[in-house]
Amino acid sequence: MEIGGGMAQIQIKVDRIVRSRRRTLALEITPDARLIVRAPLSMTDAAIKHFVTRKKVWIRKHQTKARIKHEKISPKQFVDGEEFLYLGRPFRFCISERKSIALTDVLEFPKDFMPQARFHLVNWYRKKALEIFSQRVRLCAQWNKLEYASVRISNAKKRLGSCASDGRLSFSWRLVMSPLHVIDYVVAHELAHLLVMNHSVRFWLKVNNMFPGYRESRRWLKGNAHLLNIAPKIY
């Protein structure tokens, strides 16, 4: 869907329309600046076009911001001196004679792993993520007297956390690159879904009860989610 014209002569392309049982329209700008419209099942294309037309200036502003962020991040080359995030802190990549990945004051990476560097580093991140999320979920659940079924680590690029109706919790390994307070926010967010399976006012009150500082952590995640990827040009 192409939308243009008007006083500002701003051309807007809708890359995807997702219809569901939601009640309201929502706009989403992806990290690579694509526009996704989320609409109710019964909403017509004409109504969507009218809504997008009214929001053209907002859309262009946020697409520009997304492009600037996207262009600032280069795909990782896995070379000495390059920086990788772990728990919000950058660690310098250092190729070594070690037989396994180790975190000291640098990220020591075995030279034998170099032919499949990304594969091995992602596996390391996944293992760390499982350790951390298993611990943080257990602590938060115990403190709030909640029961959950299991914790698993996913490869999700966008849906960084999820809670199934049967209590299965899922978290993206990418979150282990964020600060611990962000991890704790996502844990509280998903555990709150055990009590409220939507994002109503009641839900956010539950999140706030579990993790009172969640607003700052949520802002960090919204503003820095583009950093949680070791190959930003792959979407």
Element (H, E) at 20: strand 16-20
State the pLDDT confidence band at 68, using cuts at 50, 70 and 90: confident
Q: Could you tell me which of 217, 234, 207 has the C-alpha nearest to residue 31?
A: 234
pLDDT band (50, 70, 90) for residue 222: confident
Amino acid identity for residue 110 in this structure: P
**Confidence label for 71 from pLDDT (cuts 50, 70 and 90):** low
For 36, the 3-state DSSP assignment is strand
pLDDT tens digits, one per residue of 110-160: 999 999 999 999 999 999 999 999 999 999 999 999 999 999 999 998 899
Which pLDDT value is given to residue 3?
A: 62
pLDDT tops 70 at residue 231? no
pTM, full prediction? 0.74
Instruction: State residue 42 phi and psi, 5-degree precision.
Output: -85, -5
Higher pLDDT, 229 or 74: 229
- Return phi, psi of residue 171, to 5°: -135, 140
Higher local confidence (pLDDT), 174 or 9:
174
Q: What Rg value do the Cα atoms of the chain yield, rounded?
A: 20
Domains delineated in the chain = 2-71 (no CATH), 119-227 (3.30.2010.10)
Q: Assign 129 to helix, strand or coil.
A: helix
pLDDT tens, position by position, 2-49: 565 444 456 788 999 999 989 999 999 887 788 999 999 999 999 999
Note the maximum CA span of the chain. 63
Range name among 80-84, 97-101, 164-168, 223-227 with the lowest pLDDT average: 223-227
Q: Is a pLDDT exceeding 50 seen at residue 220?
A: yes
Percentage of the chain modeled with pLDDT above 90: 75
* pLDDT, position 4: 55
